[in-house]
Every structure is written in C-alpha cells, then in structure tokens.
Structure 1
Amino acid sequence: MPLFHTSTFSLIFPLLFLFFVLFTSSPYSAAARSHRADASTPSDLVRSSCVHASYPSICIRTLSSYSGPAVTPRDLAQASVKVSLARASRVSKYLNRLSTSQQGGSKRQRAALRDCVEQISDSVDELSRTLSELKHLRGETFRWQMSNAETWVSAAMTNEDTCLDGFQDVDGKRKSDVRRKITNVARVTSNALYMINRLDESRGRSGSIP
C-alpha cells in the first residue's frame, strides 16, 4: 500500500514548491547572493584603477586597506584624498613639534623647517577643501567643482615639493626624516590627483556622476 494517497501528495507538492519560492526570493537570500557577487568588486576596482596611477603599489596598498566604501570612481577619489589628508595632517603635527622643540641646527635648517611647516599646513587646508568639494558634487556644477579639486590638489603637491626642495642643502638625520615623511605624503597626493582626474574622465564618458 502506498504511504501517501495521491490526493495527499497533490496537496504537499504545491506547499513544498511555495516554500522553495519564498526562501529563494527572500530578502535574506537575495542579500546573501548580492554580497557574494559583490565581495570581490572593491578589490578588483582598486587594482584596475591603480594600475596607471603615479605610484601603483602605494595606491593599491592604501586603498585596499581603506575601511570606508570604495566601489565607485567617486568613492576612490574621496578615499585617496582622505589618505593624503590624514598623512599630511600627521606630518604637519610632526613638523610643528620639531620646529617648537628645535634648539640646535644651522640657520639654514631652521629656516627650511619654518617654511616647511607653513607649506604642509597649506597642503592640509587644500586637501580639506578638496575632500569637502568631492563630498558635495552636483551635476550642474560638476565641471567647476572638479576644476577646483584638481587645482587644490595640484597646489598641495607643489607645497610638498617646495618643502622637499628647501631641505636639499640641509645635512644630518633630520633632513632624512623630513624628506622620507614628505616624500610619502607627496606620493599619495599624486595618486589622489590621478583618481580625481579619473573621476572627471568617468563623468565625461557616462554623462552622470559615477
């Protein structure tokens, strides 16, 4: 004798089918599928975006470890500027402490350090303005805002290069420390400018803010 009567099976099968449909179309399962599909997207985007940056390995390393969202060209531009701003701010504080505590050193070294303090402070301001502009992009003013961002980041790079130039003729360990820190900031700032230019080009191709 069959375990299930034909009429019983005809009732159970639709219920099983309904359960399967509800489970596979539930928000939880959809989110899980979306998460799996997008899991590698940020990493892939970072690598493909950094390949032509001024310093690709630094670009990949800094943006891959970035904790915020980095899934669009706009995200990457903001992340790059945030990295540059954070490092410039740390160096600015270091230079200020160094300038305040410095007792010895040549006249040329003290002058170079004072100039560098001012230049990196200006870089911090310019990067802060850039980040604010990138956070408030609007379609009707996009081109003007991108021009501002590119100008400010370029100015930040110029300040960093000028600081480095001021230490060319300064000897000793202090020169080495300052040059190493400023060079690091200059490189991430150069990558930030590349990402901003890339965002500008992306808008030109798509016609909307990426």
Structure 2
Amino acid sequence: MKPIPLFLLFSTLLLPSAAASKPSAPPKDLIRSSCINDCYPSLCLRTLSSYSGPINTPRDLAQAAVKVSLARARKASSYLTNNVTVALWRSGRERAALTDCVEQMAESVDELSRTLSELKHLRGETFEFQMSNARTWVSAALTYEDTCLDGFEGVEKKVKSDVKKKITNVAKVTSNALYMIRKLDESGGVNR
C-alpha cells in the first residue's frame, strides 16, 4: 500500500473545518430568503433591504420588521391626528371615523411597541411564551388597523382613499412583521 502524501491528508482534514467556519448567509440573502414566501414579498424585500440596522439573524430580522411597522404606524397615527383637527368642520361621520381611527392606530402602536420590547428580551427558558405574546400582539395590531378602515364606510371618497392608502400600507408591513415573527418562532430561536 502506498503512503498518502502529507499535503493530501492535511487538505482533507482541513476542508470540513473550513466549510464549518464559513459564516452563514449574508444579511441580504437572509432577507431575500425570508421575504420570498411572505404575503407581500416585494414590499418585504424593499423595506427590510433598506433598513439601516444590522440584520444577521432571524431575531434581527423580526425586530427590523416590527421596527418598520412601528415607524409606519406612528407616521400614519400622526397623519390621522393632524387630519382630525382639520376635520372638525367636516361631517359628524367623517370626524367620528377619523377620531376612531386615531384611537385604533394608537392601540396598534402600543401593541407593536410591546412586541418590539418582547423581541429584544428573548430568553431560552421563556422563548415559546414570549413568541406567543409577540404573535398575539402583532395580530392585535393588525386587527386595530383593519378596524380603523372599517369606520370609513360611507365617508367622502377622498378622505376614505387617503386614509385607506396609509393604513393599508401599515397593515402590509405589519403582516410582514407577523410573518417574520412566525419564522423566528419556527426556528426555535436558533442563532438568536
């Protein structure tokens, strides 16, 4: 039997460890692979690719998605609040719809804030409970956003159209956040 050359022996021993030490998928690949099956994949990809913070793990991704949703919900809430003051001269129905929507969006902001706080403090022993909370709170935020839109039936077309556009956008990014939370939950918090 011929002896195995030393360089061949060492190269076969080193290859598996080199492959094992290779870093996981780059952040853009993580975003792309996570967004591809989302309900709104292009919006997911666009909003998370332009996110300025780090996205290296499923936890980072879920937090980023919630932060995007929270920022948009706050912006929509501010828009609605400003329109309520402008709408004081409008019909009672429009004023009531805007006032109710402001309240619904404030609730949505609260639920998303609670979710973000929970995701920032995940612990192994309470992971499942915390993920259940996060899913519940983001689902509640989505419900508030949908309820906001429901109040605009029978309201002037332009007012309804403006509000619908803003709230629908918030609802879509909130749906993306819920999807990322579900993906994090499915991963069991691996590489949190």
TM-score interval, smaller chain: 0.7 to 0.9
Partner of 1:84: 69
Partner of 2:59: 74
Identity rate, percent? 69
Contact preservation (8 Å) 1:139, 1:209: no
Tell me how far 1:209 sits from its aligned partner. Answer: 5.4
Number of residues of Structure 1 aligned to a counterpart in Structure 2: 172
Partner of 1:161: 146
* Aligned alpha-carbon RMSD (Å): 1.8
Distance of aligned partners of 1:179 and 1:152 in 2 relative to their CA distance in 1, 3 Å threshold: same
Deviations 1:125-147 (A, max 9, x none): 00000000000000001011011
Deviations 1:14-38 (A, max 9, x none): xxxxxxxxxxxxxxxxxxxx9xx86
2:104 aligned with 1:119, yes or no? yes
Contact preservation (8 Å) 2:47, 2:68: yes
- What are the within-5 Å matches in structure 2 for residues 133-152 of structure 1? 133-152=118-137
Distance of aligned partners of 1:199 and 1:39 in 2 relative to their CA distance in 1, 3 Å threshold: closer
- What are the within-5 Å matches in structure 2 for residues 125-204 of structure 1? 125-203=110-188
Classify the secondary structure of the residue corresponding to 1:58: helix
Between the aligned partners of 1:163 and 1:187, the Cα distance in structure 2 is 14
- What are the within-5 Å matches in structure 2 for residues 4-43 of structure 1? 41-43=26-28
Residue from 9, 29, 45 that aligns with 1:44? 29
Between the aligned partners of 1:72 and 1:208, the Cα distance in structure 2 is 8
Greater relative contact order (Cα < 8 A, sep 6+): 2
Between the aligned partners of 1:180 and 1:208, the Cα distance in structure 2 is 37
Classify the secondary structure of the residue corresponding to 2:181: helix
Question: How high is the TM-score relative to the length of structure 1?
Answer: 0.78
Between the aligned partners of 1:121 and 1:42, the Cα distance in structure 2 is 32
Contact preservation (8 Å) 2:38, 2:176: yes
Question: How high is the TM-score relative to the length of structure 2?
Answer: 0.85
Task: Name structure 1 gaps, 5 residues minimum.
Answer: 1-33
Task: Name structure 2 gaps, 5 residues minimum.
Answer: 1-20
Between the aligned partners of 1:130 and 1:61, the Cα distance in structure 2 is 22
Between the aligned partners of 1:172 and 1:148, the Cα distance in structure 2 is 37
Contact preservation (8 Å) 2:57, 2:191: no
Distance of aligned partners of 1:40 and 1:143 in 2 relative to their CA distance in 1, 3 Å threshold: closer
- Structure of higher CA gyration radius: 1
Residue from 19, 40, 44 that aligns with 1:59? 44
Between the aligned partners of 1:189 and 1:57, the Cα distance in structure 2 is 14
Residue from 78, 90, 94 that aligns with 2:79? 94
Deviations 1:152-188 (A, max 9, x none): 0000000000111111221232211111000000000
> What is the identity, as a one-letter code, of the residue corresponding to 1:136?
H
Partner of 1:4: none
